[in-house]
Amino acid sequence: MKTKKSLILIGLVAIVAVAAGTVIGVNLTSEKPMNKQTASIVYINADANDTTVSVKKGDTVNLTLRDYGDGGYVWTITRIDEKLLFQTNQFNWGSSGMLGDFGKDTWVFTAAQTGSTTLSLECTRPFGEKDTCQLFVVHLEIT
């Protein structure tokens, strides 16, 4: 009778030891949440002209400005530090189809490095005498 109780007790201790080892092993190998910086999208429009905008390294910056194409005007990037902020895309959208409505132009940038930079664009006619209809400047602090 004593040996039967001893065997049961040894069996229970073994089961508890295996269960505890499994729990410890699972906790050690499970993925723990990391404090990684998650990239986000920062939207900038004409309201941000001559302001400072803070973004994080890795963020996507979408700049959208009105397309003044009805007079032959086009936006040109005149200042950008491509080491800190590089352009990944550009597209036109949002035209209603009405005469004179050329929609909006959007430039997509990625904040590649930390630092301060200025992004400048001017809307000019690429032909004839230089005629500027609009300027846009935004200062970016990349952290």
* CA distance linking residue 10 with residue 32, whole number of Å: 35
Query: Do strands 74-79 and 41-44 pair parallel, antiparallel, or not at all (unpaired)?
Result: unpaired
The count of structural domains within the chain is 2
Local structure of 113: helix, strand or coil? coil
Residues 25 and 79 in one domain: no
pLDDT per residue rounded down to tens, the chain (143 residues):
667 566 565 665 556 555 555 656 655 555 555 556 688 999 999 999 999 999 999 999 999 999 988 778 999 999 999 999 999 999 999 888 888 788 999 999 999 999 999 999 999 988 877 788 999 999 999 99
Examine the domain organization and report whether 76 and 93 are in the same domain: yes
Do 50 and 95 reside in the same domain of the chain?
yes
Per the structure, the complete domain to which residue 66 belongs is given by 41-142
State whether 4 and 45 are in the same domain. Answer: no
DSSP secondary-structure letter at 38? Answer: P
pTM above 0.85, yes or no: no
Q: What is the CATH number of the domain that holds 55?
A: 2.60.40.2020
- Find the DSSP H helices in 1-143: 2-29
**Residues 2 and 59 grouped into a single domain:** no
**Distance between the two ends of the chain, CA-based, in angstroms?**
73
